[in-house]
Amino acid sequence: MTSIPVIETERLRLRAPVLGDFEAYATMWADPRVTAFIGGTPRTRNESWNRFIGMHGLWALCGFGYWLFADRTTDALVGVGGLANFERGIPLLDGMPEAGWAVAPDHWGQGLVTEAMQAALRWSDTVLRAPAVRCIIDPGHGASEHVAAKLGFIRIGQGEHADHPINVYARPMALG
């Protein structure tokens, strides 16, 4: 079983979720603004709980997973993200860690996703050493497309997930 590493950035602490984070997590995922391009509908409390506990499961089974992004000063949830294997059945994702991220609306537009995911990808490059990381983004999700570009992802094709099209992006492992 892999323990979830703690990574600190200038403004954030990437860490394991703890039970005390669940209310903020469930509130974030119940917000239709958060899910507009991630599944399309707000998550129920039960759906949020299953995803919340699944963050630990990813690390235990895959050796990588999602972190909770916490404010370094208050330790309050800002968002979540990292690397996953969600077994989506999208051929362009097969065998590659899939990057993903979501941030509570109160923290949008502050560069926090980029800051957190740069740290997560540095960890991937130095510890996981996967040759590449992929991600999917719904067409038209400009904010995530912008973040992906800043992180070095380039669009490599399309796929389909949950009966709607998605764009697939790839980022090679950074050398050095």
* 136 in any annotated domain: no
3 state DSSP class of 82: strand
Position 174 confidence tier, pLDDT thresholds 50, 70, 90: confident
* 157 in any annotated domain: no
Sequence-separated contacts (24+) of 148-153 with Cβ below 8 Å: 150/114, 151/99, 151/114, 151/117, 151/118, 151/121, 152/121, 153/99
Distance CA 79, CA 69 (A): 5
* 2 in any annotated domain: no
* 170 in any annotated domain: no
- Residue in 118, 83, 86, 116 with CA at minimum distance from that of residue 97: 83
So what's the pLDDT on residue 2?
73
pLDDT tops 90 at residue 51: yes
Rounded to a whole number, what is the distance in angstroms from the first to the last CA of the chain? Answer: 28
Domain extent for 55: 7-131
CATH code (residue 78): 3.40.630.30
Provide the token pair at 70: 């916490």
So what's the pLDDT on residue 124?
96
So what's the pLDDT on residue 176?
56
Percent of the chain with pLDDT over 90: 94
pTM to 2 decimal places: 0.95
Number of structural domains found in the chain: 1
* 82 in any annotated domain: yes
Look up tokens 């208050």; give the residue.
Answer: 74
* Alpha-carbon separation of residue 77 from 18, 62, 112, 170 (angstroms): 11, 24, 12, 27
So what's the pLDDT on residue 1?
58
| pLDDT, tens digit, 9 for 90 and up, residues 155-173 | 999 999 888 999 999 999 8
| pLDDT, tens digit, 9 for 90 and up, residues 71-127 | 999 999 999 999 999 999 999 999 999 999 999 999 999 999 999 999 999 999 999
* 1 in any annotated domain: no
pLDDT tops 60 at residue 12: yes
Position 128 confidence tier, pLDDT thresholds 50, 70, 90: very high
* 67 in any annotated domain: yes
